[in-house]
Structure 1
Amino acid sequence: MELKEIIQNYFKEIDWNIEPKQLYTPISYALESGGKRLRPMLTLMATKLFGGDINKAMPAAVALEIFHNFTLLHDDIMDRADMRRNRPTVHVKWDDNTAILSGDAMLIKAYQYLSKTETDKKEEILDLFTTTALQVCEGQQYDANFETRTDVTIEEYYHMIYLKTAVLLACALKMGAILGGASKEDANNIYEFGINIGIAFQLRDDYLDCYGDESTFGKKIGGDIMCGKRTFLLIQTLKNCGVSQRLTITQLLDNNSIHEREKVSTIIDIYNQLDMPKRCNEAINHYYKLSLESLDKINKSEEEKAPFVSLAKELMGRND
C-alpha cells in the first residue's frame, strides 16, 4: 500500500462525529478535503529511509498534518480567502469565530497526537515541533507586516518564507529521521533538504498564484495580489520597475474600488514586461538544486534516496 493511501486511511478512521458538532464538524471538513498530505508523507518517508517503523511514526505524522491545517484555517481568516482546495474556506462556510475556535482545537489535537508517539526521543520531537510551530507563527506575522510596506527586500522575503513554509517541511523530515534512528548529521542534512525544497515550493506557489490553472491550483488566481502580499514577483518588480510602473502598482494596491480582474491583470502585465516569470523560475531551480545537494550528503544509497528526488520533482512540476 502506498504511503499516501495509508495516511488517508488513518485520517478516515478518526472520529470527529462528537459534541459539540459546531467545534468538530469544521475540523472534519478541513481535514477531509485532503490536499497533498505532504507533511505526513515526508515524516513517514524519512522514518522508512532510516529503517524505522512507520506505524509508530504515524501519530507524529498526523500531528503535523493537523497542525498544518490549523494554520490554514487562521491564515484564510487573515487573508479573507474564500476558497481553499476548490471549496469554501471554513470561515466562509461557517464564520470567523468558528474557524478561530476549531483552529485552536486542532492545535491542541496536534499536541495530543504527538504525545501518543511511541519513542524514547519524545522530548526531542516535542522540542522540534514546538520550535517549528512558533517559527510558523513568526513567519505569518512577517507576511502580514509586509502587506503595508513597499520597501520589503528580497532577503526579508526569503526569511519570511523560511519561517512560514520551509521549516514545517523540514521539521516533518527531521522528525521522521529522528523516529527512524538517523544519526544527528543525517537528521540535519534531511532538515536542510526540507528547507531548500520548502523555499522552492513557496516560490512555485507564488508563481502559480499568478500563472497557474485555477482548477488545479485550488485557489483563486491573483489572490496574493488582491491581499497585497509581498511575493517574489511583486518585490522584484518593485525593485526593478520604472517610475510609472511603480506608480501604477502602488495605486492599484491601495485602491480597493478597482475590479479584481483589472487589478490582477494589470499587475501581471507589468510582471511580464519585466520578465518576472523567468526570474521566479530561475530562483525555483536554484533552491531545487540546493535541495538535491543536501540530499546527496545523506549517508544512504541513491536507490534509497530516489523517492525523495521523485517527490521534489513532482513538487516543482518537473518531468526531467
Structure 2
Amino acid sequence: MSLEVFLKAIQTEIASTKYGESPVELYEPIEYLMSLGGKKMRPLLTVMATNIFVDDWQKSVKPALGVEVFHNFTLMHDDIMDAAPLRRGKPTVHEKWNENVAILSGDVMLVCAYELMTAVDDKIFKHVIRRFNRTAAEVCEGQQWDMNFATRNDVTEDEYINMIRLKTSVLLGFALELGGLIAEAGEEATQLLYDFGTNIGIGFQLKDDILDVYGDPEKFGKQVGGDIIENKKTWLLLKALKIGKGTAQEAELQAWIYAKEFDKDEKVKAVRAIYDALNIRQLAEQKMNAFFDKGLADLEKLNASAERKQPLIELTKQLIERES
C-alpha cells in the first residue's frame, strides 16, 4: 500500500468531517485551521501502523483524524501564547478572528478530538482514552516546561530532551500506538510502536533545531535563525554554553544573549560562527542520528513482515532527509 493511498483517505475524511454549525464563529476557525495543509504525519502514522497488522486499515482513519484534530488544537492555543501572526503561511486563528474566539474554538476542538476517538472498537475504547488522556497531559507538561525554560539560565541538555519528548514526541508515539491497538497487535508490538514514535520524534525536533540555524532559507519555509534571535534554549545553544564554558566563545555568546538591541542578521551570523568554532552542528547531528537509529531499531524488532513495515520506513526516511 502506498503513502498516497493513506494520505488520500485521510484528506477525504478531513473534507467530509463536520465539527458543528452554529454559532459559526465557534466552528469556522476549526475548519479553517484544518484546511491549512501540513504533512498530516500523525494520522498517517496511525493508519500505517494499523496496516502493518491488518488489511482493513480504513477503520483507523477516523480515530487517526482525532489525533490530528488534537494536534491542531494545541497549535491554535500555542499560537495565542506565542503571539504568532502566521501558521503555515496564513493568518493564525486569533489574528483572523480574535483571542477569545481562538480560545473557545480551541476548547471545542479538543471535544471534537475525543468524539472522533470514540470510533474505536468498544473493547479497546477505555484503554485508548486512558492513553490519549495521559498523552494529552504530557503535551501540556512539555509546553509548560518550554515556557519555564525561557526564564531559567540553568537548563540542562537532558531537561531539554525530556521537554521535546513531552511537547512533540509522545503524540507521535501515541499515534503509532493507537494504530497497533486498533489492529489488536498485542502489548509488545504497541509498546515498540510507541517507542519508535517517541525516539524518531526527538530526532525530528533536533533536526528542526539544526535546520533553524543551518537550513536553506529557500527551502526551510520560515526565517532561518529565529531560535537564535529569540534566545530559544535549543540543544545547540545549551551544548555551546556547556562545552564553551570559560572560553572567549562563551563570553561572546553570553553578550549576544543579553544584548537588548542588535541587528538580527548580524546576531545570527555571529552565533552561527560560534557554533561552528565549537563543532556544535556535528554534535547535534550525532545526537539526532542516535535517536533516529534507536527508533528504527525499535521498528526492526517489531514482529511483522518487512513488506508491511516498508511504507513506514520509507516515510521515516523521507522525514529524516527533509530540508524544511
Q: TM-score range with shorter-chain normalisation?
A: over 0.9
Alignment equivalent of 1:60, drawn from 63, 72, 75: 63
In the other structure, the counterpart of 1:298 is: 302
Alignment equivalent of 1:270, drawn from 263, 271, 274: 274
**Aligned-pair distance for 1:16?**
5.4
- The residue correspondences of 1:144-155 to structure 2 (distance < 5 A) are 144-155=147-158
Tell me the secondary structure at the aligned position of residue 311 of structure 1. helix
In the other structure, the counterpart of 1:257 is: 261
In the other structure, the counterpart of 1:230 is: 233
User: Which one-letter code corresponds to 1:236 in the other structure?
Assistant: K
Q: Is the 8 A contact 1:232 1:280 kept in 2?
A: yes
In the other structure, the counterpart of 2:48 is: 45
Q: Is the 8 A contact 1:147 1:229 kept in 2?
A: yes
Tell me the secondary structure at the aligned position of residue 2 of structure 1. helix
- The residue correspondences of 1:282-293 to structure 2 (distance < 5 A) are 282-293=286-297
- The residue correspondences of 1:210-225 to structure 2 (distance < 5 A) are 210-225=213-228
1:100 aligned onto 2:103: yes
1:318/1:112 CA distance change after superposition, 3 Å: closer
- The residue correspondences of 1:53-202 to structure 2 (distance < 5 A) are 53-202=56-205
Give the alignment's TM-score, normalised by structure 2.
0.91
User: Which one-letter code corresponds to 1:263 in the other structure?
Assistant: K
1:97/1:224 CA distance change after superposition, 3 Å: farther
CA distance in structure 1 between the aligned counterparts of 2:142 and 2:183, rounded to whole angstroms: 29
Q: State percent identity of aligned pairs.
A: 43
**Aligned-pair distance for 1:149?**
1.9
CA distance in structure 1 between the aligned counterparts of 2:47 and 2:64, rounded to whole angstroms: 7
Alignment equivalent of 2:7, drawn from 4, 9, 12: 4
**Aligned-pair distance for 1:215?**
4.9
In the other structure, the counterpart of 2:250 is: 246
Range moving further from structure 2, 215-224 or 188-197: 215-224
**Aligned-pair distance for 1:208?**
1.5
1:225/1:84 CA distance change after superposition, 3 Å: farther
Give the alignment's TM-score, normalised by structure 1.
0.92
Give unmatched runs, 5+ long, in structure 2.
Answer: none
CA distance in structure 2 between the aligned counterparts of 1:85 and 1:189, rounded to whole angstroms: 32
**Aligned-pair distance for 1:214?**
4.2
Range moving further from structure 2, 187-196 or 98-107: 98-107
CA distance in structure 2 between the aligned counterparts of 1:20 and 1:115, rounded to whole angstroms: 24
Q: Is the 8 A contact 2:121 2:182 kept in 1?
A: no
CA RMSD of the aligned region, Å?
2.1
1:118/1:298 CA distance change after superposition, 3 Å: same
Number of residue equivalences = 319
**Aligned-pair distance for 1:125?**
0.6
Q: Is the 8 A contact 1:84 1:219 kept in 2?
A: no
1:73/1:254 CA distance change after superposition, 3 Å: farther
In the other structure, the counterpart of 2:315 is: 311
Q: Is the 8 A contact 1:61 1:172 kept in 2?
A: yes
CA distance in structure 2 between the aligned counterparts of 1:219 and 1:250, rounded to whole angstroms: 25
CA distance in structure 1 between the aligned counterparts of 2:27 and 2:278, rounded to whole angstroms: 47
**Aligned-pair distance for 1:314?**
0.8
**Aligned-pair distance for 1:124?**
0.7
User: Which one-letter code corresponds to 1:261 in the other structure?
Assistant: D
Give unmatched runs, 5+ long, in structure 1.
Answer: none
**Aligned-pair distance for 1:119?**
3.9
Alignment equivalent of 1:15, drawn from 13, 18, 31: 18
CA distance in structure 2 between the aligned counterparts of 1:250 and 1:178, rounded to whole angstroms: 48
CA distance in structure 2 between the aligned counterparts of 1:231 and 1:19, rounded to whole angstroms: 42
Output one character per residue of 1:155-211: Cα deviation in whole Å (capped at 9) or x when no partner: 111111111111100000001001011011111111111111111111111111222
CA distance in structure 2 between the aligned counterparts of 1:183 and 1:52, rounded to whole angstroms: 16
**Aligned-pair distance for 1:318?**
6.9
Q: Which runs of 4+ in 1 moved over 4 A?
A: none
1:99/1:264 CA distance change after superposition, 3 Å: farther
Q: Is the 8 A contact 2:51 2:308 kept in 1?
A: no
**Aligned-pair distance for 1:116?**
3.0
User: Which one-letter code corresponds to 1:102 in the other structure?
Assistant: S
**Aligned-pair distance for 1:154?**
0.8
Q: Is the 8 A contact 2:9 2:61 kept in 1?
A: no
